Amino acid sequence: MRVLVSGGAGYIGSHTVVALVAAGHEVVVVDSFANSSPVVVGRLEALIGRELPVHAFDLTDKDKTEQLFASDRFDAVVHFAGLKAVGESVEQPLEYYENNLESTFSLLRAMRRHGCTLLVFSSSATVYGDAEPPYREDQALLSSSNPYGRTKVMIEQILRDVAAIDDTLQVAILRYFNPVGAHPSGTIGEDPQGTPNNLLPYVAQVAVGRRDRVAVFGGDYDTADGTCERDYIHVEDLAAGHVAALAHLRRALPAESSVDGKGARVHTWNLGTGRSTSVLAVIRAFAAASGRPVPFEIVGRRAGDMPRSWADASLAERELGWRATKTIDEMCADAWRWQAANPFGYGDA
């Protein structure tokens, strides 16, 4: 298939580009580079061994989106592009609603006008709010606690509404748990701008000497070691989940395989491992993988954090034949290879 990957220069997008090409697809990237580096394009071309067509614009630009679909033909879109920092979304709600919703509208309009019928959408476990894990795709969604999360809840609903009136559209909503790790080559990886919000990149920057110590947000949770537990998933496993979802959409399985009942052409799958790891266990695993000390200090809780989160990943296994296989040690080893080779991320290039 000829696949348009929006946000293909970003962390998950770039790894998925490699996986899609390896699966035999032709990939075209559209990325605004608002939160990603153009350096990634050359790295990707080296990994895939061919030129990667890249369009540098923001999908909220409806005219440019229309022009792209008018000048090329796509069988499918994998839609990663969007703003994704929880804290920032609280400070800048309008930017989050505007960017994440409008880019999706713009894409959906162009897809419908040009007969592109397959869409894979990046959603998040954040849509489960503060329900008790393990999370299942068919459970009622509580409202997410921040504007970023609410854009995901809203876009999921919009996709179901549009699919309900367009019987050509096939949609996969993928709810990611906590993606970490990097391509085993160490040439692409996660490169957050400024201070990392997420645990793994922060730990990696401590191990490489860019930061003094990890602040562990809360040591008094009702968990085995008192720190929060998350379902960390290797970004390579996550990328493979997109390839599997796309293959499933193309096969257009019958309605009864969907959890969505009425909106039967919209499939929702958790992409997680079904296991959880505490903050302290992640720090220990990273110290072991890197052979570097990772000093830490337990500080107060971070507002909005849930004690624990993990997926029931059985639906994706049953319907997609996909399962996450990589361990937390492999996630840390690959994240370290990337961080050690690129201490300042793509800024080193």
Name residues contacting ligand UFG, limited to 17-76 (CB under 6 A): none
The binder of ligand UFG chosen from 126, 258, 276, 342 (CB under 6 A): 126
Strands (E), the chain: 2-6, 26-30, 54-55, 76-79, 118-124, 170-176, 178-180, 214-217, 229-230, 232-234, 266-271, 277-278, 296-299
Q: Which residue lies nearest ligand UFG, judged by its C-beta?
A: 228
Catalytic residue IDs: 148
Cβ neighbours, 10 Å, residue 63: 9
Q: Distance between alpha carbon 11 and the CA centroid of its chain, in Å?
A: 8
Residues 6+ apart with CB under 8 A from 226: 218, 219, 220
Comparison of 37 and 178: residue with beta carbon closer to ligand UFG: 178
Site membership for ligand UFG, residue 81 (CB under 6 A): no
The binder of ligand UFG chosen from 62, 114, 284, 302 (CB under 6 A): 302
DSSP 55-85: E-S-TT-HHHHHHHHHHS--SEEEE--S---
The binder of ligand UFG chosen from 28, 228, 244, 249 (CB under 6 A): 228
Tell me the per-residue interface mask from 153 to 192 with ligand UFG, x by CB under 6 A, - otherwise. -------------------------x--------------
CA distance linking residue 31 with residue 35, whole number of Å: 9
The binder of ligand UFG chosen from 142, 215, 341, 349 (CB under 6 A): 215
CA distance linking residue 138 with residue 260, whole number of Å: 7
Site membership for ligand UFG, residue 198 (CB under 6 A): yes
Site membership for ligand UFG, residue 202 (CB under 6 A): yes
Site membership for ligand UFG, residue 216 (CB under 6 A): yes
Cβ pair 298, 219 in contact under 8 A: yes
CA distance linking residue 202 with residue 37, whole number of Å: 19
Tokens 């997680």 sit at which residue? 272
Site membership for ligand UFG, residue 124 (CB under 6 A): yes
Give the binding-site size for ligand UFG (rule: CB under 6 A). Answer: 20
DSSP summary character for residue 194? S
Comparison of 74 and 135: residue with beta carbon closer to ligand UFG: 135
Residues 6+ apart with CB under 8 A from 301: 217, 218, 220, 221
Q: Which stretch binds ligand UFG (CB under 6 A): 16-24, 90-98, 215-223, 252-260?
A: 215-223
Would you say how long the chain is, in residues? 349
Comparison of 149 and 181: residue with beta carbon closer to ligand UFG: 149
Comparison of 70 and 215: residue with beta carbon closer to ligand UFG: 215
Cβ pair 6, 12 in contact under 8 A: no
Tell me the per-residue interface mask from 85 to 104 with ligand UFG, x by CB under 6 A, - otherwise. -x------------------
Site membership for ligand UFG, residue 303 (CB under 6 A): no
289, exposed or middle or buried, with CB in 10 Å at 0-12, 13-18, 19+?
buried
DSSP summary character for residue 135? B
Site membership for ligand UFG, residue 308 (CB under 6 A): no
The least distance separating ligand UFG from the CB of residue 230, rounded to whole angstroms, comes to 5
Site membership for ligand UFG, residue 341 (CB under 6 A): no
Comparison of 166 and 226: residue with beta carbon closer to ligand UFG: 226
Cβ pair 117, 100 in contact under 8 A: no
Tell me the per-residue interface mask from 257 to 286 with ligand UFG, x by CB under 6 A, - otherwise. ----------------------x-------
Q: Which stretches of the chain bind ligand UFG, using CB under 6 A?
A: 84, 86, 124-126, 149, 178, 197-199, 202, 214-217, 228, 230, 279, 302, 305
